[in-house]
Amino acid sequence: MTEETTIHLPAIEKHVEHLRKGFDFWPTLENGTPPAMGDFRWPAELILSTWYQAGTGEPPTNGLEYRIGDSGGGFDKLDFRFLPEHQQLPPETEIDLAIPLNRRGIGREIEIAVPWYGGGMSFGSVSEQVMLARAIAAKEWGTFTSTGEGGYPDSLVKYKDHIITQIATGMFGVREETIQYAPVVEFKYAQGAKPGLGGHLLGDKTTITVAKMRESVPWVSLFSPFPFHSVYSVEDHRKHVDWVKTINPEALVSVKVSTPTDVDMVAVGSYYAGAHIVHLDGSYGGTGAAPEIAKKNIAMPIEFAIPKVHKYLQGENIRDEIVVMASGGIRTAYDIAKSIALGADGAILGTSELVAIGCTRCSNCERGRGCPFGLTTTDPELSLLVEPEWGAQRIGNLNASYAKQLRDILRRLGLKSIHDLRGRTDLLVYRR
């Protein structure tokens, strides 16, 4: 097998034109919602409202649901206890959405302008075009995106101040210079969608280019081991942190973990090992490929992990020295706000960014040539369906809509800063 393929640009352009029209058309609801679209976590309306926001930068006003899904639990059961209108802050109030990523008081100070950044998606699981789109949007919005575990394409280097380098158990594509580029280095211990299993990239997607980047063999399935075989304790983890600090003394360190029953202890351990950020990835998170049994059944949803960790860190008197970022099933601006109210500092997004650039949640990311929309693919032809600047604009628009909604939520709660929302479960209400 080779990657030689005859790309016929007029055919690509034809499809791109039709697709973009479709992304604009469906949210109008002129044809209703596509009958086979959506699932309980991402109902059709949530996908279409995300398309709408990605097209306009605004939440929809035609009745499309953009705040919750239909899962019947977790975020979908939580709501805010907004103040009566006369007690809310006036619309012109300046509301601060920025959060710091280093609360340790020493070392480099990094602040992101919005309380979220992009989660790891590897080269191989997604195309280079998608990585670029996310990186451009991250730069524009003063936040970050993450490489995932698959290497660092050269085209990303000019966005390096907004890119987190991920080091995961397979060490795929990790090089000294990619660690040196990074303002933040992320150790991925586990992923919410497949906790305890390591990464999967099935053989069809391990093209020659992907294999080269990962220093592996083409067309062979790549399974990252689990766990880090050099880490069996907090002390071992500390050695990992020291190793990164030797290569890049300025880097902040994030530790991405899943949500086992002792996730609170894991967070404390991460802190004492020197982490600046503990990244909790809940069990309903996204993936390019994972055993179905793992997605549904292993480890707890993020809604339960956040308050557990938040309270435990408070009890240990270290809550204000470490940043807690939450991911794994955070789909909307409201989910971001609820995560923070439950105790996180901020959120990490993945699937919603992909939905913004065309994902229909069809779950065919792993098979054959990969995503038919050119997102989770390594196919040279399909990748051209996503033009990086177009993708960046869509993600940027989604960010704009999220920022607007977050400011509105805070204003209606009488809060001037996103930091003031952290851990405020008293502002939430559970809808039965």
Instruction: Determine, following the binding rule CB under 8 A, whether residue 307 of this chain makes contact with another protein.
Output: yes
Question: Cα 80 vs. chain centroid, distance in angstroms?
Answer: 23
Instruction: Determine, following the binding rule CB under 8 A, whether residue 18 of this chain makes contact with another protein.
Output: yes
In angstroms, give the least distance from the CB of 14 to another protein.
6
Which one of residues 358, 388, 391, 396 is an interface residue with another protein (CB under 8 A)? 358
Please check whether residue 301 is in contact with residue 74, taking contact to mean a CB–CB distance below 8 angstroms. yes
* Binding letters toward another protein, positions 38-77, x by CB under 8 A: -xxxx----------------------------xxxx-xx
DSSP structure string for 19-78: HHHHHHHGGGTTT-S-TT-B-SSSBHHHHHHHHHHHHHSS--SSS---S--SSSSGGGGE
Stretch that binds another protein, among 15-23, 55-63, 105-113, 387-395 (CB under 8 A): 15-23
- Taking the CA atoms of residue 115, residue 425, residue 431 and residue 90 in that order, the dihedral angle to the nearest 10 degrees is -60
Please check whether residue 221 is in contact with residue 266, taking contact to mean a CB–CB distance below 8 angstroms. no
In angstroms, give the least distance from the CB of 48 to another protein.
11
Angle value at C-alpha 336, between 330 and 338, nearest 5 degrees: 105
Instruction: Determine, following the binding rule CB under 8 A, whether residue 203 of this chain makes contact with another protein.
Output: no
Q: Which of residues 113-142 bind another protein (CB under 8 A)?
A: none
Instruction: Determine, following the binding rule CB under 8 A, whether residue 231 of this chain makes contact with another protein.
Output: yes
Which amino acid is located at 430 in the chain? Y
In angstroms, give the least distance from the CB of 312 to another protein.
11
Which one of residues 5, 62, 314, 363 is an interface residue with another protein (CB under 8 A)? 363
Say whether the peptide bond before residue 227 is cis (omega within 30 degrees of 0). Answer: yes
Distance CA 338, CA 343 (A): 9
Q: Which of residues 333-352 bind another protein (CB under 8 A)?
A: 342, 351
Which one of residues 344, 366, 384, 401 is an interface residue with another protein (CB under 8 A)? 366
75 burial via Cβ count (<10 Å: 0-12, 13-18, 19+) = buried
Instruction: Determine, following the binding rule CB under 8 A, whether residue 146 of this chain makes contact with another protein.
Output: no
Instruction: Determine, following the binding rule CB under 8 A, whether residue 273 of this chain makes contact with another protein.
Output: no
Instruction: Determine, following the binding rule CB under 8 A, whether residue 239 of this chain makes contact with another protein.
Output: no
Stretch that binds another protein, among 95-103, 129-137, 138-146, 189-197 (CB under 8 A): 189-197
Which residue(s) pair with 237 in the sheet? none
Instruction: Determine, following the binding rule CB under 8 A, whether residue 429 of this chain makes contact with another protein.
Output: yes
Please check whether residue 164 is in contact with residue 120, taking contact to mean a CB–CB distance below 8 angstroms. yes
User: Quick one: which of 101, 91, 47, 116 has its CA closest to 408?
Assistant: 91
Distance CA 66, CA 46 (A): 5
Instruction: Determine, following the binding rule CB under 8 A, whether residue 257 of this chain makes contact with another protein.
Output: yes
Q: Which of residues 375-414 bind another protein (CB under 8 A)?
A: 376, 382
Q: Extract the tokens encoding 236.
A: 């071992």
Instruction: Determine, following the binding rule CB under 8 A, whether residue 288 of this chain makes contact with another protein.
Output: yes
Stretch that binds another protein, among 110-118, 151-159, 178-186, 259-267 (CB under 8 A): 259-267
Which one of residues 29, 37, 98, 318 is an interface residue with another protein (CB under 8 A)? 37
Distance CA 242, CA 251 (A): 11
Q: How many residues interact with another protein (rule CB under 8 A)?
A: 106
Which one of residues 251, 373, 384, 400 is an interface residue with another protein (CB under 8 A)? 373
Distance CA 87, CA 414 (A): 7
Instruction: Determine, following the binding rule CB under 8 A, whether residue 315 of this chain makes contact with another protein.
Output: no
